[in-house]
Amino acid sequence: MRTLLAFLALLVTATAGQRPNLLVFLVDDMGWQDTSLPFLHDAEGKPVVTDLNRRYRTPAMEALAARGMKFTRAYAHSVCTPSRITLMTGKNPARHRVTNWTSPTGAENGDNDVKHLRSPDGWGRTGIAAGEKTLPALLKAAGYRTIHCGKAHFGSRGAFGQDPKAIGFEVNIAGNEIGHPGSYFARDSFGKGSHHVPGLDRWHGQDLFLTEVLTRELCGAIETAAKDKQPFFAYMAHYAVHSPFQADPRFAKNYPDLPKPQQAYASLIESMDRSLGDILAKLDALGIAENTFVVFLSDNGGDAPIPNDKAAPVVSGNAPLRGKKGMRYEGGIRVPMIAAWAKPAASHPAQEKLKIPAGSHHDGFVSIADLFPTLLEIAGVSGVPSFDGHDLRPALKGGPATRPQQLVTHYPHGHNNDHFSILHEGHWKFIRNHADGMTELYNLASDLAETNNLASEQPERAAAMSVELERQLDAMGALRSKRVEP
């Protein structure tokens, strides 16, 4: 009997050792074009190198994409907290009801530009609700070490989700209720007061940048998990490339011709990319790269400090996309995304089950919600209801899109764009603006920059998409903007 138990214990240990590690590398406010890796492809499927691709340097992203798959049509919410909670729950923001970013104090945020509309009563103003089944909690229960590193922004001060440990992270490095750092510099203690980055005291006063410090912290936590022979879920949620636009001195010199804020922004991007490269190198050095699945993405559209081009005022720092973070246009919600094994191997048990074609790209529609079921399945945790996320493994194996080519984005608040809901359906995009009822319809296949509103030209399509949008919002229990006396 004792021999049998010992044998079973050994078997469990061996199986645990084979379970793949998971690394989610989430960048804050990084745009679809904030990289040297082209995410725009032409009708023949060939990558199109844009001006912004030529501006930025992200060799680690290029290397990761060469090892796996690039997603050219990946979407997140238009602002931070909703996307982050969607990643953690697999629920559309309309369903989890944190439809706007949360203020650190829990106060109502957003502006009041629309005199007769306000945020709905009962929206998740203080962040993630207790009782949600979360990705880290499920993985922790399955034996994973769950490591949070960087920006959390799941809930406000004193609320349930303020500390990432509340939602299932065993280790929390530097995350709390804040949405951006007071400072990127260790010599400034990463900011004073309300936006001080917590938990990094041992680095204070040194000549180091926040992105580098977080990288070293995460590499240390990964090394500990590897030594303990425990599979891990590492969530590397950088504070970069969100404002304040402070230059990383290691990289600013590479952009001598750019105006100051743009030079700083480019250095934040290259610094973030160096972090990716360093973490991948660490996985390799530890001998666990073949057994580590990596997903890279951003939490909303880009917010680059690039003025609009006067000749084409609808195009911004996300060109050729229209708009920026917070907006209903593609520049607000389309994000870069890459998935790969950290080191492809011809024969490896985990990779045998999920062979990702090297240097490939997938042009089907995917959502940040899809990470929830996909990561759980890769970890061997099956049967968890995923609500609005869909398992991406068929696409990752090089197959055609199997998830519905539809997505609802719901924003009943005031911000860069006020009170809107969107339905994407294949290449068609329908927008309802709740303030004045104005509708927009774009064919993204022929009009990626959303310059030609076809709503009045194609009223039947617009009406059908409007009905489908309302149906899906109702099905998710979406809260609507509240009407008030102007």
Give contact residues for Ca ion (rule: CB under 5 A): 28-29, 80, 299-300
Please report which helix (H) or strand (E) contains residue 190, including its range: none
> Is there a contact between 122 and 478 (Cβ–Cβ < 8 Å)?
no
- CA-to-CA distance for 396 and 230, rounded, in angstroms? 25
Structure tokens at 250: 């290691």
Whether the upstream peptide bond of residue 244 has omega within 30° of 0, thus cis, is yes
Minimum CB–partner distance for residue 301 and Ca ion (Å): 9
- The conformation of residue 486, written as its DSSP 8-state character, comes to -
Specify whether the backbone of 247 is left (phi greater than 0), alpha (psi in -120 to 50) or beta: beta
Question: Between 103 and 300, whose beta carbon lies closer to Ca ion?
Answer: 300
Work out how close the CB of 323 gets to Ca ion at its nearest, in angstroms, rounded to a whole number. Answer: 15
> Which residue, 337 or 455, is less far from Ca ion as judged by CB?
337
Give the residue nearest to Ca ion (CB): 80
Output the smallest distance, CB 80 to Ca ion, in A.
4
Buried b (16+ CB within 10 A) or exposed e, 309-347: eeeeeebbbbbbbbbbbbbbbbbbbbbbbbbbbbbbeee
Task: Tell me how far, at minimum, the Cβ of 83 lies from Ca ion, in Å.
Answer: 7
Closest to Ca ion by CB, 290 or 299:
299
Closer to Ca ion by CB, 118 or 242: give it: 242
At its nearest, how many Å lie between Ca ion and the CB of residue 127?
A: 14
> Which tokens go with 144?
């994973």
Buried b / exposed e over 41-72, threshold 16 CB at 10 Å, is eeeeeebeeeebbebbbbebbbbbbebbbbbb
CB of 300 vs Ca ion, minimal distance in Å: 5
> Judged by CB, which is closer to Ca ion: 297, or 473?
297
Between CA 336 and CA 341, with CA 339 as vertex, the angle to 5 degrees is 150
Measured CA to CA, the distance from residue 200 to residue 420 in angstroms comes to 39
The nearer residue to Ca ion, 28 or 450, going by C-beta atoms, is 28
Nearest-approach distance from CB 325 to Ca ion, in angstroms: 7
What single letter denotes the amino acid at residue 385? P
Q: How far is the CB of 299 from Ca ion (least distance, A)?
A: 4
Which C-beta is closer to Ca ion: that of 231 or that of 326? 326
Of the two residues 39 and 232, which places its CB atom closer to Ca ion in the complex? 39
Question: What are the E-state strand segments in 255-389?
Answer: 292-298, 334-341, 360-367
